[in-house]
Homo-oligomer: A and B are copies of this chain.
Amino acid sequence: MEPSLPPFSRVEYDRRLALVRAAMAAAGLDILFVEDPSNMAWLTGYDGWSFYVHQGVLVFHDRDPLWWGRRMDHAGARRTVWMGAECLHGYDDSFVQSTERHPMQDLATLIAECGHGAARIGVEMENYYFTARAFLTLQAALPDADLVDATALVNWQRTVKSEAEIAFMRKAARIVERTVDGVAERIEPGMRKNDLVAEIYRDLITGTGEDWGDYPAIVPMLPSGADAAAAHLTWNGAPFRKGEATFFELAGCYRRYHVPFCRTVFLGEPHAQIRRAEAALVEGLEAGLEAARAGNRAADIANALAAPLERAGIERGARCGYPIGLSYPPDWGERTISLRPEDETILEPGMTFHFMPGLWMEDWGLEITESILIRPDGPAECFCDRPRALIVKS
Interface residues of A (CB under 8 A from B): 1-4, 47-52, 71-73, 75-76, 78-80, 92-94, 96-98, 102, 123, 125-136, 149, 151, 192-195, 197-199, 201-203, 205-207, 210-215, 218-219, 221, 227, 229-238, 317-319, 322, 329-331, 333, 335, 338, 340, 342, 360
Chain B: which residue is nearest A214 at the CB level?
A: B234
B227 x A73 contact (CB < 8 A): no
User: Nearest Cβ distance between residue A207 and chain B, in whole angstroms?
Assistant: 6
Q: Is the CB of B123 within 8 A of A93?
A: no
Task: Kindly identify which residue among B49, B215, B221 contacts A330, using a CB–CB cutoff of 8 Å.
Answer: B49
A261 to chain B, nearest CB (A): 17
Instruction: Give 7 closest A-B pairs by Cβ, nearest first.
Output: A212-B237, A132-B135, A76-B230, A201-B201, A194-B212, A52-B331, A126-B133
Q: Which residues of B contact A213 (CB under 8 A)?
A: 194, 198
User: What are 28 pairs between A and B in contact, CB < 8 Å?
Assistant: A48-B230, A48-B232, A49-B219, A49-B330, A52-B330, A72-B231, A73-B230, A75-B229, A76-B232, A79-B230, A97-B333, A97-B335, A98-B338, A125-B132, A126-B131, A133-B151, A194-B205, A194-B206, A194-B212, A195-B206, A197-B205, A198-B203, A198-B205, A198-B213, A199-B202, A201-B202, A212-B236, A215-B219
Of B73, B201, B338, the residue contacting A97 (CB under 8 A) is: B338
Closest partner residue, chain B, to A49 (CB atom): B232
| Docked pose: A238 CA to B213 CA in angstroms | 12
**What are the residues of chain B within 8 A of A197 when measuring CB–CB?**
205
Q: Is the CB of A125 within 8 A of B133?
A: yes
Give the distance to chain B from A101, nearest Cβ to Cβ, in Å.
11
> Which residue on chain B has the smallest CB distance to residue A236?
B3
